[in-house]
Structure 1
Amino acid sequence: MEWNLAINNFQEYLLLEKGLSQNTQLAYVRDIKKLQTFTLQDHSVTPYNINRFSIQDFIYDFAKKSSSAKSQARLISSLKSFFKFLQVEGKRQDNPAELLESPKIGLYLPDVLSHEEVMAIIQSIDLSKPEGQRNRTMVETLYGCGLRVSELINLRLSDLYFYDNFIRVTGKGNKQRLVPISNWTIKFITLYRDSIRVHVNPKPKCEDVLFLNRRGGKLTREMIFIIIKNMAELAGIKKKVSPHTFRHSFATVLLKNGADLRSIQQMLGHESITTTEIYTHLDNKQLRDTIEKYHPFSISKT
């Protein structure tokens, strides 16, 4: 009972005080519930009296089941936030997770698609079906504007400012930003909106949502992932492709063509430019690959 109450209060804090997105809130809550499950063997252990040794045991147990350093680092971050919250609320005097050390995470370089691969995916779409035109428009929007999947499914008709070549995007923490949109992408959104979506009867509260499923409801994140995965397989793309891959590809192609990091940061909605700087590493990787492939010293070694 005490765990459930503390976790519910923590989730409200993440929403109201921190303004985190629903997906981030759920990720934090899932992590804390793992600790709750771990403590079920001893009913005397509550979130208010658990000590750092028990938490360390939990971390070790989790590490044996998950080899991913990224998952372990996120779990530790969730624990620190949870117990810091209990401190702020006056429920604890200490933070038993404060001294936990996160595993070092190597630089994560996401897969990106070349422009030719993006076009191959688009060309694999069956445009004879209404959902085909919708799916193409979603890909064009993901790749043309660098949106997150949550931003795509929440895009609204009232967010389209085509006269000014901008769309309004609601990102993490419900923060809004204006993202420039090309005439090319506008063309496909307009075509979908005026020739496909107009024939779909929106469900209540979905009247303003841009991308709808066949029943007039809002598409889910999971549905977008499935659609994108099927497209990539149909196009013969061997890379691991998700909606986020188009976002990475958007940023990478801008950087390669001379866009500055600050502009890319604003378009992607990154709070810190250090997040955007990963794309400079992607570019450097391409440079290293070029040296290995084309420099005579490298060639002579093979």
Structure 2
Amino acid sequence: MVGSWSPFDVAFTDENKSSNHARSILFQERLDQILKTWDPAEVPAFNGKFSRKWFADQIGCSPSTLTTSPRLRKALMRWEEKHLKKMVSGASRREDDETNVVRLPRKKSGGRIYKVPVAVAQVKNSPTKIVPTLVWEDGMDEWVGDYARNLIFRSPNGTSSVEETVKKLRQFRTFQRRHNVAYEHVTDDFLIAFQAEMEAQGRASPKRRDEIVSAVHDFLKWADGQGRLVNQVQTRPKNEYDLPDDYQFPISSELVTVRGRHGKSYDKWVSTLTGGATHSTYGTRRTPTSEEVLKLGEVVDGDERNGVRNKLIMDWALFTGARVSEIVQLRESDLPSFDNVQAFFDDDGGLKVFEVWVDRKNRGRSMLRVPGDLALRTAEYIALDAQRLHIIGGSLEGHRRNDDFIFLSERGRTLHTDSITRIFRGFFKTAGIKKANIHRLRAKFITEMIEFQLDRYAAGGIQVDPTSSWQETILVSACQAMGHSHPISLLPYLTEILQRRTTTDGKIEPRSVEIREQSLRDSVKQLSASLSMFPRLGEIQKLVAEKRINEALEAVGDFQDQLREML
């Protein structure tokens, strides 16, 4: 020991007891005396950290005081970092024998954070720093560990700040490991599911949830920058990437201006799920109601500029669940020619369901199931729409190929996804639909699909409740139809429906007959509205519905002859 000191060397006086400020000064003086006189090798240390309880006993305060008092905490941390190399365990090591075997407590399944002293081996006289390290029962979390070391050594982040970041990442990694989702399959949808679980558990405030998602986004940006992920997260302007114009990053970002602690501003790519630096958009997006969808259809129909094209784009999103990036991939060759209109009907006179293959987000080449009426209207649009034919005649000099894209810009090029988003933003605003866009029509599709499956379970007498195994079945089925890479990405949709339909005893209440019939009427009304501009096809469909098949086939032939005369 360099020097000795006892907490009783200085006694409390009446003056010292008079205020917390005086006691704080007294504790500071005692700590300074200890730090100057004690040999660090004689101070007990555990898990890479000098014992706070030992210091508290010497000073005469509680261990929590060393954490809550900024002066004491900073003084102790500075001393600790200075003397890390002298740190030794408080207990001497004994040789292994049968008498000193200790039964270890059972490990918890959750990850634990250890503070590990780390130095850079390649750098001479490199300072040793404490790195918070996440460890699971099957080993160290390498990605999180490397990220934490990067923050400690390459950024001006203290140990306590990095430890807080690792705690946030631990929540995400727990969720990720539980659902067995690889890093390359983490998408915005998966992050939304993660947000939904945090909200359902009620353990974190909205602000805290945003902070956690922001930390995860920064972590994944780092992984992308390191080459561990490839074009998974946007970290710079899109024109700086060698990627197709319609490429969508699985984890979206937006560039915002952030004001730092000392008033300095800088640009940063942040998650779109937290609304950047100002507000959170998660939970503000909503699915349009059936009435709003009908109103939107009227607005789109009433627009004279490429109205038929835009209505078809809307219906492809609404009735197939396709993303905008998938709709723009559609080619004329994906559907039968309108000259062969009979190819759209089966032997019984009913409309066929078509399968169209597109490149789907995170799934590669995958299938869209297209209702027959939508396929038929699309084929008629290709063959007869005056505005599309004008574009082909002008910009494309009248040349048409079977591999031409279906939806074209007015310049004859493939319609860009950003253009579609912008066009429909105006339609939604005109229709008075707030906090929604064309992408939410996919949500309408999946919501109806899940509602229908829940009704089927209830009608079959299957006892459904939030703890039964049917959830995975529904999610897998919906995942296949929607083109999602993992069922968990659709969990928020199912969660919202369950919360709305769960009774007080925890069971799932089936929709009433009236509600189901209303939903069916809404769907029929939407389809009818889609066919309203094609009265002859509507008449044919009516004949088919009445099982007057011969008359329907005759009408189809007459209609086909009339169309040929128009060409």
TM-score for both structures, normalised by structure 1: 0.61
> Which of 232, 236, 244 in structure 1 is aligned with 2:428?
232
Q: What are structure 1's unaligned runs of at least 5 residues?
A: 1-49, 87-102, 292-302
- 1:53 maps to 152
- 2:487 maps to 273
Residue type at the aligned position of 1:243: I
1:200 aligns with 2:391: yes
Residue type at the aligned position of 1:234: T
**3-state DSSP of counterpart to 1:243:** coil
More displaced stretch, 164-173 vs 140-149: 164-173
> Which of 435, 441, 447 in structure 2 is aligned with 1:252?
447
More displaced stretch, 162-171 vs 198-207: 198-207
Structure 1 residues 215 and 252: CA distance shift in structure 2, 3 A: same
Write the deviation string for residues 245-293 of structure 1: whole angstroms up to 9, x where unpaired: 01111101111112733221111111111112222112123336999xx
- Structure-1 separation of matches of 2:156 and 2:295: 49
C-alpha deviation, 1:183, in angstroms: 2.3
- 1:264 maps to 478
Structure 1 residues 68 and 246: CA distance shift in structure 2, 3 A: farther
- 2:288 maps to 113
Q: What are structure 2's unaligned runs of at least 5 residues?
A: 1-148, 166-209, 230-270, 275-279, 337-343, 345-351, 455-473, 506-567
> Which of 134, 152, 166 in structure 1 is aligned with 2:355?
166
- Structure-1 separation of matches of 2:153 and 2:335: 52
Structure 1 residues 217 and 128: CA distance shift in structure 2, 3 A: same
More displaced stretch, 180-189 vs 160-169: 160-169
Q: Is the 8 A contact 1:145 1:181 kept in 2?
A: yes
> Which of 60, 71, 77 in structure 1 is aligned with 2:220?
77
**3-state DSSP of counterpart to 1:214:** coil
1:157 aligns with 2:332: yes
C-alpha deviation, 1:141, in angstroms: 0.5
Structure 1 residues 164 and 252: CA distance shift in structure 2, 3 A: closer
Structure 1 residues 166 and 51: CA distance shift in structure 2, 3 A: closer
User: Whose strand fraction is larger, Structure 1's or Structure 2's?
Assistant: 2
Runs of 4+ in structure 1 over 4 Å off: 54-58, 103-110, 161-164, 202-207, 288-291
- 1:95 maps to none
Q: Is the 8 A contact 1:252 1:282 kept in 2?
A: no
More displaced stretch, 215-224 vs 177-186: 177-186
**3-state DSSP of counterpart to 1:170:** strand
Q: Is the 8 A contact 1:112 1:249 kept in 2?
A: yes
Residue type at the aligned position of 1:212: L
- Structure-1 separation of matches of 2:320 and 2:365: 14
Q: Is the 8 A contact 1:167 1:180 kept in 2?
A: yes
Residue type at the aligned position of 1:267: A
Q: Is the 8 A contact 2:353 2:372 kept in 1?
A: no
Structure 1 residues 138 and 82: CA distance shift in structure 2, 3 A: same
- 1:178 maps to 367
Q: Is the 8 A contact 1:228 1:241 kept in 2?
A: no
**3-state DSSP of counterpart to 1:257:** helix
- 2:307 maps to 132
- Structure-2 separation of matches of 1:257 and 1:290: 22
- Structure-2 separation of matches of 1:214 and 1:271: 34
Structure 1 residues 142 and 85: CA distance shift in structure 2, 3 A: same
More displaced stretch, 77-86 vs 258-267: 77-86
Q: Is the 8 A contact 1:159 1:169 kept in 2?
A: no
- Structure-2 separation of matches of 1:288 and 1:121: 31
Residue type at the aligned position of 1:166: E
Larger Rg: 2
C-alpha deviation, 1:137, in angstroms: 0.5
Q: Is the 8 A contact 2:287 2:444 kept in 1?
A: yes
> Which of 298, 321, 324 in structure 2 is aligned with 1:146?
321
Write the deviation string for residues 124-182 of structure 1: whole angstroms up to 9, x where unpaired: 12446251111000000011111111111122222336665222221125711112111
Structure 1 residues 72 and 217: CA distance shift in structure 2, 3 A: farther
**3-state DSSP of counterpart to 1:140:** helix
1:241 aligns with 2:241: no
| Matched pairs, number | 219
